[in-house]
């Protein structure tokens, strides 16, 4: 093989590394302009991601460097013929044990985060005690059911429950738990900004907790192809202060029990526009 | 070489041939079944009138006298690009269109000053970045810097674009409810062309308010495939509603014209009239039709337009809304009991359809009913709506409220009925208190513990 081929095989790994390094600067990385995760758990999950990225990057660069070096050396030494060998116990042991150790390290290292996120025993107690809402995915929208102010979320719908669609309000700075359900097919509750993703399965009620660390309006999308209208299944999660949240619930109560007399309709409009401005 | 030069050329040719296929096919508003059942000579003026008043999806027309926000925008010619004599197009830069919707292709442009005053051109293309309008050359117009014009239907076009993106795949290009995804849906998407909407806040005889349609778009209809479009802005929703109402108006005017002509000039009628029993010749029928078209059709068209426009205007007045005379009766066991008795009474006959337990399985669902439009029995048992779809009375235990779950929504359903369905209006026969008792009873059903 000529030196041209050496350069060819050098070019691709360099291009791959360069495009990865460039990604955060041209908005190809994490969503919302590579913004930091909006939850502490999300930041820890990103930490895992970066750790794995560094390990795989080192391995990739190392193996590619060795490959190019081997090509280059033999290109400079054309008289020497390549030699066929069959098996090398030592080498095989090395390249089995080292990745094995890396995987073992990763699986032990991530256990805490996984447990905090998914194992119900480790869910924040405050959130488990008073679930915020029931979230139901259906073709093709998200529907939310909050308990009445001062009451607890029940398994079965109650007459004083508060309902909304495609707009979930969440108090900021405290862990919240939602009960995830599906009305029809599989959906997936995906909050990219908070790094939360959980499939919703028909017939199951799955608790999911998250804690936003900064107020804002975040996208809630469906991450499981659920039918022809999958792309329509987009909602907003509005993270706001506890007092704003209570105000919202109060307003929702008034709207929902509106009997056609009085002036709630105008309030409704003003609150809505505030939410979109934020 | 296996993959020879000839194959390469073939490959290139195939891609060349497929290129013209990418062009936008001409899209037209469809005409109703009834229009197509008219004899061709009678259908032609109807189609022409609709085309003149409404245009086509990609060449909208403005027709005054409609309660539609067409959104005309005034602009001024800044400079005209000089072009060759034999060039068929004129390009000119304009001012005044900077803050409007940026897609103006296909819209009518009416000259309001200069040589072409009163002439209407079609915008061939519009470049928002450079504010350049392209129109076809014609002898009557010669745009000069400083001349003014109106671009018509800008708001309607914005609504059309949003509608085509979000709604068209179910509700169809003309609002006829047969878009490509409609075949997967039950209940089927609404056909807007009757101008009837089920979940409204208005009285029985009124059309829907714009606010009602906006709410349906924003909140969706629970229990159906109509999803919530809450993330659209208020402005976008109102543009969509504006367009949907305009589609409804088009369909309603078409229907009124059809109704006028159908008794005498349908294909079926023609063959009957020219049969031996009818004894007329085709020429006689055509002569009569011609006379009608000359003498009566313009008035018919005008009357159809104004009556439809008026109905939509009236629906948006404040006194079209159903507002209860008394506030909600407190939701007590006594009130629910009064409601239950009313529900079972002969006065309301709720149980006939909704069943004695409110499970939507009343005796009416086992009968064969007559289609009021054709006076023939439906082929299936059970109730039907005016769109011809079979319709089961709501199971009141499910806790799903298509028209909204506020008490006022249920009150309005009872007061004004559900338009286009057999659900009758009780506004006349029941007092406000009685209606609230019924609301309290019905709304307690999903939570009564026997689920």
- Both structure tokens of A190: 């995906």
pLDDT at B393: 93
- The CA distance from B415 to B419, in Å, is 11
Substitution target from B180, B216, B227, B450 for chain A, most A beta carbons within 10 A? B227
Summarised one tens digit per residue, pLDDT across range B117-155 is 888 889 999 999 899 999 988 888 888 888 899 999 999
pLDDT at A276: 39
Calculate the average pLDDT of chain A: 89
Specify whether the CB–CB gap between A167 and A135 falls below 8 A: no
Crossing angle of the two packed helices B234-265 and B282-295, in degrees rounded to 10: 140
Worst-scoring range by mean pLDDT, A165-179, B10-24, B51-65, B262-276?
A: B10-24
Is residue B12, in this structure, part of any structural domain at all? no
* Chain B residues 333-352 with CB within 8 Å of chain A: none
| Residues in chain B closer than 8 A to A158 (CB atoms) | 447
The pTM assigned to this predicted structure is 0.88
Q: Residue B215 belongs to what domain range?
A: 159-320
**Residues B188 and B89 reside in one and the same domain:** no
CB–CB contact B408 A258 (8 Å): yes
pLDDT category at B23 given cuts 50, 70, 90 is low
Domain ranges in chain A? Answer: 3-77, 124-259+269-277
State yes or no: pLDDT of A211 exceeds 70: yes
Phi, psi angles (nearest 5°) of residue B341: -65, -40
- The CA distance from A199 to A120, in Å, is 16
**Residues B295 and B346 reside in one and the same domain:** no
Q: Please tell me which residue, A193 or A74, carries the higher pLDDT value.
A: A193
pLDDT at A30: 84
pLDDT at A1: 59
- Both structure tokens of B440: 């309290």
**Residues B361 and B300 reside in one and the same domain:** no
**CATH classification at residue B282:** 1.10.760
- The CA distance from B298 to B65, in Å, is 15
Question: Could you say which of B222, B324, B407 has the minimum Cβ distance to residue A257?
Answer: B407
Pairing, β B132-136 against β B89-95:
antiparallel
Q: Please tell me which residue, B64 or B49, carries the higher pLDDT value.
A: B49
pLDDT at A224: 94
pLDDT at A265: 46
Question: Could you say which of B231, B327, B447 has the minimum Cβ distance to residue A234?
Answer: B231
**Residues B309 and B358 reside in one and the same domain:** no
Cα-Cα end-to-end distance for chain A: 62
Q: Give the domain-ending residue among B117, B152, B187.
A: B152
CB–CB contact A257 B451 (8 Å): no
State yes or no: pLDDT of A135 exceeds 70: yes
Q: Give the domain-ending residue among B112, B132, B152.
A: B152
CB–CB contact B222 A143 (8 Å): yes
CB–CB contact A257 B446 (8 Å): no
State yes or no: pLDDT of A278 exceeds 70: no
Q: Quick one: average pLDDT of B278-304?
A: 89
Is residue B360, in this structure, part of any structural domain at all? yes
**CATH classification at residue B367:** 1.10.760.10
pLDDT at B24: 63
**Residues B168 and B294 reside in one and the same domain:** yes
Q: Give the domain-ending residue among B112, B130, B152.
A: B152
**Residues B110 and B203 reside in one and the same domain:** no
In chain B, DSSP finds a helix count (H) and a strand count (E) of 14, 12
State yes or no: pLDDT of A272 exceeds 50: no
Cβ burial of B197 (10 Å; 0-12, 13-18, 19+) is buried
A236 CA to chain B: closest CA distance, Å? 8
| Residues in chain A closer than 8 A to B444 (CB atoms) | 159
Question: Could you say which of B399, B406, B412 has the minimum Cβ distance to residue A255?
Answer: B406
pLDDT category at B17 given cuts 50, 70, 90 is low
| Residues in chain A closer than 8 A to B411 (CB atoms) | 259-260
Is residue B51, in this structure, part of any structural domain at all? no
| Residues in chain B closer than 8 A to A140 (CB atoms) | 225, 227
Peptide bond just before A140 cis, omega within 30 deg: yes
**Residues B240 and B292 reside in one and the same domain:** yes
Reference A222, options A186, A193, A195, A194; nearest CA is A186
State yes or no: pLDDT of A267 exceeds 60: no
Is residue B105, in this structure, part of any structural domain at all? yes
Chain A CB within 8 Å of residue B328 CB: yes
Crossing angle of the two packed helices B154-166 and B234-265, in degrees rounded to 10: 90
Summarised one tens digit per residue, pLDDT across range B366-423 is 989 888 878 888 888 889 999 988 899 999 999 999 999 999 999 999 999 999 999 9
Q: Quick one: average pLDDT of A175-190?
A: 95
CB–CB contact B406 A256 (8 Å): yes
Question: Could you say which of A165, A255, A261 has the minimum Cβ distance to residue B228?
Answer: A165
Reference A180, options A171, A191, A172; nearest CA is A191
CB–CB contact A141 B233 (8 Å): no
| ipTM of the complex in this document | 0.84
Summarised one tens digit per residue, pLDDT across range B203-257 is 999 999 999 999 999 999 998 999 999 999 999 999 999 999 999 999 999 999 9
Size of interface A-B (CB pairs under 8 A): 71
Specify whether the CB–CB gap between A45 and A202 falls below 8 A: no
Substitution target from A147, A221, A260 for chain B, most B beta carbons within 10 A? A260
**Residues B337 and B430 reside in one and the same domain:** yes
Calculate the average pLDDT of chain B: 89
Hunting for tokens 């059809």 — which residue is that? B258
Is residue B391, in this structure, part of any structural domain at all? yes
**Residues B198 and B303 reside in one and the same domain:** yes
Number of neighbours of residue B108 by Cβ within 10 angstroms: 18
Is residue B339, in this structure, part of any structural domain at all? yes
Is residue B217, in this structure, part of any structural domain at all? yes
Summarised one tens digit per residue, pLDDT across range A139-153 is 899 999 999 999 999
**Residues B373 and B425 reside in one and the same domain:** yes
For domain A124-259+269-277, give the fold: Immunoglobulin-like (2.60.40)
| Count of domains forming chain B | 3
pLDDT category at A271 given cuts 50, 70, 90 is very low
**CATH classification at residue B99:** 2.40.10.190
**Residues B199 and B79 reside in one and the same domain:** no
| Residues in chain A closer than 8 A to B219 (CB atoms) | 165
Is residue B248, in this structure, part of any structural domain at all? yes
- The CA distance from A173 to A242, in Å, is 9
Crossing angle of the two packed helices A264-277 and A242-256, in degrees rounded to 10: 140
């Amino acid at each position: 093989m000529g030196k041209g081929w050496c350069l060819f095989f050098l070019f691709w790994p360099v291009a791959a590394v360069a495009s990865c390094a460039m990604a955060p600067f041209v908005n190809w990385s994490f969503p919302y302009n590579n913004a930091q995760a909006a939850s502490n758990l999300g930041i820890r999950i990103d930490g895992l991601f970066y750790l794995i990225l560094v390990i795989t990057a080192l391995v990739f660069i190392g193996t590619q460097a060795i490959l190019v070096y081997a090509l280059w050396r033999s290109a400079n030494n054309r008289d020497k013929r390549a030699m066929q060998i069959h098996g090398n116990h030592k080498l095989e042991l090395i390249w089995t044990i080292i990745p094995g150790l890396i995987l073992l390290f990763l699986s032990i290292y991530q256990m805490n985060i996984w447990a905090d996120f998914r194992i119900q025993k480790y869910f924040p107690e405050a959130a488990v005690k008073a679930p915020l809402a029931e979230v139901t995915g259906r073709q093709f929208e998200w529907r939310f059911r909050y308990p009445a102010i001062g009451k607890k979320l029940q398994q079965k719908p109650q007459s004083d429950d508060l309902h909304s669609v495609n707009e979930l309000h969440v108090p900021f700075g405290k862990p919240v738990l939602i009960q995830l359900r599906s009305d029809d097919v599989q959906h997936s509750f995906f909050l990219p900004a908070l790094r939360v993703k959980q499939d919703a399965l028909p017939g199951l009620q799955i608790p999911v907790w998250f804690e936003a660390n900064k107020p804002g309006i975040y996208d809630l999308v469906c991450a499981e192809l659920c039918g022809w209208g999958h792309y329509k299944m987009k909602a907003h999660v509005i993270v706001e202060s506890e007092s704003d949240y209570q105000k919202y619930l109060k307003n929702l109560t008034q709207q929902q029990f509106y009997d056609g007399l009085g002036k709630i309709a105008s309030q409704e409009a003003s609150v809505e526009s505030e939410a979109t401005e934020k | 070489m296996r993959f020879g030069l000839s194959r390469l050329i073939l490959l290139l040719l195939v891609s060349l041939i497929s290129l013209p296929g990418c062009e936008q096919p001409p899209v037209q508003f469809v005409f109703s079944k009834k229009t197509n059942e008219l004899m061709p000579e009678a259908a032609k003026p109807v189609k022409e009138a609709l085309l003149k008043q409404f245009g086509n999806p990609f060449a909208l027309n403005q027709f005054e006298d409609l309660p539609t926000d067409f959104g005309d925008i005034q602009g001024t010619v800044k400079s005209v690009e000089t072009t060759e004599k034999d060039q068929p197009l004129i390009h000119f830069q304009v001012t005044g269109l900077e803050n409007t919707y940026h897609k103006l292709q296909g819209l009518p442009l009416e000259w309001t000053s200069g040589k072409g005053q009163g002439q209407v051109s079609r915008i061939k293309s519009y470049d928002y970045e450079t504010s350049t309008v392209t129109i076809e050359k014609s002898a009557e117009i010669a745009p000069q810097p400083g001349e003014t014009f109106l671009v018509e239907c800008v708001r309607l076009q914005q609504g059309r674009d949003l509608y085509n993106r979000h709604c068209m795949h179910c509700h169809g290009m003309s609002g006829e409810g047969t878009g490509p995804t409609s075949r997967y849906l039950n209940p089927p998407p609404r056909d807007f062309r009757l101008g009837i909407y089920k979940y409204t806040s208005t009285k029985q005889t009124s059309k829907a308010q714009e606010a009602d349609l906006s709410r349906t778009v924003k909140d969706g209809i629970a229990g159906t495939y109509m999803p919530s479009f809450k993330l659209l802005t208020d402005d976008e929703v109102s543009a969509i509603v504006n367009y949907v109402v305009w589609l409804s108006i088009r369909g309603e005017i078409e229907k009124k014209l059809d109704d006028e002509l159908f008794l005498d000039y349908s294909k079926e009628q023609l063959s009957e009239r020219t049969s031996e029993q009818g004894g007329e010749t085709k020429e006689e029928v055509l002569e009569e039709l011609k006379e009608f078209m000359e003498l009566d059709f313009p008035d018919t068209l005008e009357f159809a337009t104004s009556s439809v426009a008026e109905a939509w205007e009236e629906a948006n007045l404040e006194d079209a809304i159903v507002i209860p005379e008394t506030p909600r009766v407190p939701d007590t066991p006594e009130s629910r009991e009064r409601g239950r008795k009313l529900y079972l009474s002969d006065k309301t006959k709720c149980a006939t359809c909704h069943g004695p337990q409110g499970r939507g399985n009343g005796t009416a669902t086992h009968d064969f009913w007559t289609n009021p439009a054709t006076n023939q029995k439906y082929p299936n048992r059970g109730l039907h709506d005016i769109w011809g779809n079979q319709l089961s009375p709501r199971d009141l235990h499910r806790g799903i409220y298509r028209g909204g779950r506020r008490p006022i929504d249920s009150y309005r359903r009872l007061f004004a009925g559900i338009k286009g369905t057999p659900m009758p209006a009780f506004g006349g026969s029941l007092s406000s208190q009685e209606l609230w008792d019924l609301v309290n009873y019905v709304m307690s059903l999903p939570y009564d513990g026997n689920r």
